[in-house]
């Protein structure tokens, strides 16, 4: 299975998946890191794993559709089977969703459908929930609305800050995301309508 990881920033979730691949826990290869920020730290992480990068600047394109068409061409020429969005901070269009629906996943730092979109951690703190977490879902045309594959709950403490709660959620993400990628690589995940099944 050939994977492309999409990321915009630090890339600690990319790192968790790359380490799991390296350790033999995911029967797959990360072919490419796609990044919309030329200065993002994820690019240094990719280089240290010897993984190719595809970097673009959205401002240089007339539309999202225009840069996505170029990304899709790159993914298709490399025979990418699975897109893993790990902190990719851009909305996607049908240009990307249509060819990869069911083969494109995202990790979100909340228990969807609660707190979609930007700042899921801050939204949960502000609302005052006592339990939040992380969600991995298939990507559809909406913002964090696609079929849910797996979730991991994280308790909120009364003294939590954005930083302390964020760190706890990230620890959950580093377990959840490689786990889901391994299930997909093993061919165990099926999608029918909105229903996702993890088979043995
Ligand atoms: C993660 O918490 C992810 O859920 C969110 O952005 C963060 C990315 O962190 N959408 P990193 O770049 O993987 O370190």
Question: What ipTM was assigned to the predicted interfaces of this complex?
Answer: 0.95
d(C-alpha 84, C-alpha 100), whole Å = 11
Q: Residues within the annotated binding site for (6R)-10-formyltetrahydrofolate?
A: 64, 89-92, 106
Report whether 1 contacts 154 (CB < 8 A): no
Place of tokens 């072919």: 31
Average pLDDT on 79-87 reads 98
Q: Taking the complete model, does pTM exceed 0.90, yes or no?
A: yes
Query: Ligand 1 centroid vs 194 CA: distance in angstroms?
Result: 24
Is the Cβ–Cβ distance between 175 and 154 less than 8 Å? Answer: no
Instruction: Name the domain count of the chain.
Output: 1
Half-sphere exposure of 166 (CA within 13 A, CB side): 9
pLDDT at 57: 98
The predicted-structure confidence for 93-105, as pLDDT tens digits, reads as follows 999 999 999 999 9
Q: What is the pLDDT of residue 151?
A: 99
- 59 confidence band (pLDDT: 50, 70, 90): very high
CATH of the domain at 164: 3.40.50.170
CA 24 – ligand 1 centroid, Å: 23
Ligand 1 site, CB within 6 A: 7, 9-13, 86-87, 107-109, 170, 173
Active site members: 108
Residue 90 pLDDT: 96
DSSP 8-state class, residue 10? -
The closest residue, in CA terms, to atom 7 on ligand 1 is 87
The SS3 assignment for 109 reads coil
The domain containing residue 10 runs over which residues?
A: 2-198
Q: How many CB atoms lie within 10 A of CB 190?
A: 11
| Tokens read off for 21 | 């691949």
Which residues face 150 on adjacent strands? 136
140-190 pLDDT, tens digit per residue, is 999 999 999 999 999 999 999 999 999 999 999 999 999 999 999 999 999
Average pLDDT, the chain: 98
């Amino acid at each position: 299975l050939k994977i492309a990881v999409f990321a915009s920033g630090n890339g600690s979730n990319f790192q968790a998946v790359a380490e799991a691949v390296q350790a033999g826990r995911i029967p797959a290869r990360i072919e490419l890191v796609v990044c919309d920020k030329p200065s993002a730290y994820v690019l240094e992480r990719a280089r240290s794993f010897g993984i190719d990068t595809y970097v673009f600047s959205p401002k240089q394109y007339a539309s999202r559709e225009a840069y996505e068409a170029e990304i899709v061409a790159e993914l298709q020429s490399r025979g990418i089977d699975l897109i893993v969005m790990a902190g990719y901070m851009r909305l996607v269009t049908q240009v990307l969703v249509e060819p990869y629906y069911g083969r494109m996943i995202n990790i979100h730092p909340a228990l969807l459908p609660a707190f979609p979109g930007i700042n899921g951690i801050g939204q949960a703190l502000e609302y005052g929930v006592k339990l939040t977490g992380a969600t991995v879902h298939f990507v559809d045309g909406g913002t964090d609305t696609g079929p849910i594959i797996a979730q991991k709950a994280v308790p909120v403490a009364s003294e939590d800050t954005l930083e302390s709660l964020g760190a706890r959620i990230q620890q959950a993400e580093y377990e959840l995301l490689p786990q889901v990628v391994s299930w997909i690589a093993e061919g165990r995940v099926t999608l029918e309508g909105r229903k996702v099944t993890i088979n043995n």
